[in-house]
Structure 1
Amino acid sequence: MEQKTEIDNEKLVKEFGANLVSTLKDLPDFYTFKTGVLFSHRDFNKFFSALKKGEKCAILSGVNASGSLHLGHKAVFDTNLFFQKKYNIPVFIPISDDESYVAGKVESQEEALKNSMQLAKELLAYGFDPKKTYFIIDQVYTNIYNLAIKLSKKVNLSEIKASYGYKNEENIGLHFYPAVQSAHILFPQVKHGIKNVLVPIGPDEDAHIRISRDIASRLEYNKPAILHSLFLPGIDNKKMSKSKNNAIFLNDSEKEIKAKINKSFSGGQKSLEEHRKKGGNPDVDVAFLYLKYLFLSEKESKAIEEKYRSGDLTTAEMKALFQKHVLKFIKQFQSNLKKISDKDLEKTILKNE
């Protein structure tokens, strides 16, 4: 029970030089802002002010083409969906098929493209409006490379190495990809004239944003606003990784989900008797962390936290509650996915002019 989560979000904030969301007085009325799962930001206050004034705004939020959506994506895409529905704004979603390939996350470009198409379907099933959602898949929308070439002149190799830690031995695709990612991030502004753009991301993607914000200022574009979500741990309380199979994917079967939750890291004691006496530690309990940040209201999470600390709520009961919420969410998603056709997808993927 003494184990700490491997990921220190506060340390990441200090390294990024970002600001805490909790210090902002004016925030949207949505759970991701209330639970604290959206942890830090850059210029979100400026974006939100412009949004409320009715200025042209957009969301840009990408996903890697190495596999399917998982629970770790939930906070970011719930936030994106909230803004689209509440404020009727477009959402641009780059699916990084090329980065997946050059980074060795997939074996071939064909696999990356196939994954990208499936991810686009999954995101439509998630609830995004096909009339206001635009997927940027680089093997399809190859014009993105023209913009990347333009932007690449505004950043040098030393900056890329300093931001990403790349070494000379790594392939040049990795060294060039930040220009492509910056093209994604600045696309709504450069191609559609939308100056107020919000990019919700995980903290591990912040290097892309730092580069794109630097490029934006050098070309006299508006800097994109940023929201960082918390790093939620995998079911083993370590950083989520497809290779470790420690994430709950939205295409997992009910049997797989139950098995993963049952073996998830807990903050409980070694025996029921000891747990009743000493209580559990919700701070490292994976089931509780997901319930707190993704599924329960603040009032609900505080109630079960108190019961867990006192020993009134057992580890088995905590996992059962987590399982209930996860299965409800994923079953609805999988039902929606069955209704998404190739025709639905065709309308949403950007193509060369």
Structure 2
Amino acid sequence: YCNNCYLSVYSRYLQDAFDVPLVIQLTDDEKFLWKDLTVEKANELAYENAKDIIALGFDVNKTFIFSDIDYIGSSTEFYRNMLKIQKCVTFNQVKGIFGFGDSDCIGKISFPAIQAAPSFSNSFPHIFGSRSDIHCLIPCAIDQDPYFRMTRDVAPRLGYPKPALLHSQFFPALQGAQTKMSASDPNSSIFLTDTDKKIKTKDYGSGKLLTGELKKILIDILQPMIRSHRERRAAITENEVKQFMTPRKLAFDY
């Protein structure tokens, strides 16, 4: 189970290495709750993210990508697990874990249960049937750790196996090792949708090499790589996206 789009390359490697089903959660509800977006825009961005993920070459027969906004309302089992998790965690606990304050909307307070629910196999009956004993591995960024520590605490109380985690550190932004990439700052990173011209204009300031020398090396590497990704992404049809995001049986028997 992967809930971070930028960890998709790692997830693709794990899927190929172990030949396992992969579930990718697109948390468009989280974007709506934390950012100044409409529900419709958050959902639209999730589908754009799905295209970037699919362009990495995932096998449609082994991969299910879902939007929280679209999937939760259609899955009784997922919602049941959300409710069970919500009942196991107190308001004081989520305040302590996530730092919520009295002025935070109640949507933020209930969101951790949504992020936790995909850790349990019976949240996806079209893939795993009614089985709840299938172990889950979650590649995630270090900032997601509190969500899944909470999940691991709750799992035994629900009779489910604890999910295992693989942590990754943040890749620093272009501004230096102490900064973080952000979608809201277009100059913080090289995006997969950047044009060759945009890649060429983003900065370097260390001074260890002449700026022109380093930029030429990086441009020569990044432009063909991202151009290739843009071409694969542009070739993805709406029907292909629908295939990946339709609840269905994958190429595994449980």
User: Given the two structures, how large is their TM-score scaled by the length of structure 1?
Assistant: 0.63
SS state of the match for residue 249, structure 1? coil
- The residue number in structure 1 matching 2:8 is 77
Report the CA distance shift for 1:352/1:337 in structure 2 as closer, same or farther (over 3 A): closer
- CA drift at 1:166: 0.5
> What is the CA–CA distance in structure 2 between the aligned matches of 1:222 and 1:156, rounded to whole Å?
21
Q: Does 1:133 align with 2:63?
A: yes
- The residue number in structure 1 matching 2:190 is 248
Report the CA distance shift for 1:187/1:177 in structure 2 as closer, same or farther (over 3 A): farther
Report the CA distance shift for 1:187/1:158 in structure 2 as closer, same or farther (over 3 A): farther
- The residue number in structure 2 matching 1:230 is 169
- CA drift at 1:243: 2.3
- CA drift at 1:157: 1.2
SS state of the match for residue 129, structure 1? coil
Partner AA of 1:162 in structure 2:
G
Q: Does 1:102 align with 2:33?
A: yes
> What is the CA–CA distance in structure 2 between the aligned matches of 1:185 and 1:345, rounded to whole Å?
23
SS state of the match for residue 122, structure 1? helix
C-alpha distance after superposition, 1:148-201 (max 9, x if no partner): 112211111111111110101100000000010011232467742362321111
Report the CA distance shift for 1:319/1:185 in structure 2 as closer, same or farther (over 3 A): farther
Contact 2:172–2:181 under 8 Å retained in 1: yes
SS state of the match for residue 24, structure 2? strand
> What is the CA–CA distance in structure 1 between the aligned matches of 2:152 and 2:124, rounded to whole Å?
13
- CA drift at 1:138: 1.8
- CA drift at 1:328: 2.3
Q: Does 1:239 align with 2:180?
A: yes
- CA drift at 1:352: 9.7
> What is the CA–CA distance in structure 1 between the aligned matches of 2:110 and 2:123, rounded to whole Å?
21
SS state of the match for residue 189, structure 2? coil
> What is the CA–CA distance in structure 2 between the aligned matches of 1:267 and 1:129, rounded to whole Å?
41
Structure 1 segments of 4 or more deviating over 6 A?
none
Percent identity over paired residues: 29
Which of residues 104, 109, 114 is equivalent to 2:44?
A: 114
SS state of the match for residue 345, structure 1? helix
- CA drift at 1:115: 0.9
> What is the CA–CA distance in structure 1 between the aligned matches of 2:101 and 2:121, rounded to whole Å?
28
Q: Does 1:182 align with 2:112?
A: no
Q: Does 1:214 align with 2:148?
A: no
> What is the CA–CA distance in structure 1 between the aligned matches of 2:121 and 2:200, rounded to whole Å?
41
C-alpha distance after superposition, 1:17-71 (max 9, x if no partner): xxxxxxxxxxxxxxxxxxxxxxxxxxxxxxxxxxxxxxxxxxx1113xxxxx6xx
User: Given the two structures, how large is their TM-score scaled by the length of structure 2?
Assistant: 0.86
Alignment of 1:275-286 (within 5 A): 280=208
Q: Does 1:318 align with 2:211?
A: no
Contact 1:203–1:231 under 8 Å retained in 2: yes
- CA drift at 1:321: 2.1
Alignment of 1:252-331 (within 5 A): 252-260=194-202, 263-264=203-204, 266-268=205-207, 280=208, 314-331=210-227
Report the CA distance shift for 1:254/1:188 in structure 2 as closer, same or farther (over 3 A): farther
| Number of positions where the alignment pairs a residue of Structure 1 with one of Structure 2 | 237
Which of residues 144, 163, 171 is equivalent to 1:205?
A: 144
Contact 1:116–1:137 under 8 Å retained in 2: yes
SS state of the match for residue 45, structure 2? helix
Partner AA of 1:112 in structure 2:
A
- The residue number in structure 2 matching 1:61 is 2
Consecutive unaligned residues of structure 2, counting only runs of 5 or more, are 250-254
> What is the CA–CA distance in structure 1 between the aligned matches of 2:193 and 2:122, rounded to whole Å?
30
Contact 2:81–2:123 under 8 Å retained in 1: no
Partner AA of 1:175 in structure 2:
I
> What is the CA–CA distance in structure 1 between the aligned matches of 2:124 and 2:65, rounded to whole Å?
16
Q: Does 1:340 align with 2:236?
A: yes
> What is the CA–CA distance in structure 1 between the aligned matches of 2:136 and 2:248, rounded to whole Å?
22
Q: CA RMSD in A?
A: 2.1
- The residue number in structure 2 matching 1:163 is 97
Consecutive unaligned residues of structure 1, counting only runs of 5 or more, are 1-59, 64-68, 269-279, 281-312
> What is the CA–CA distance in structure 2 between the aligned matches of 1:348 and 1:242, rounded to whole Å?
24
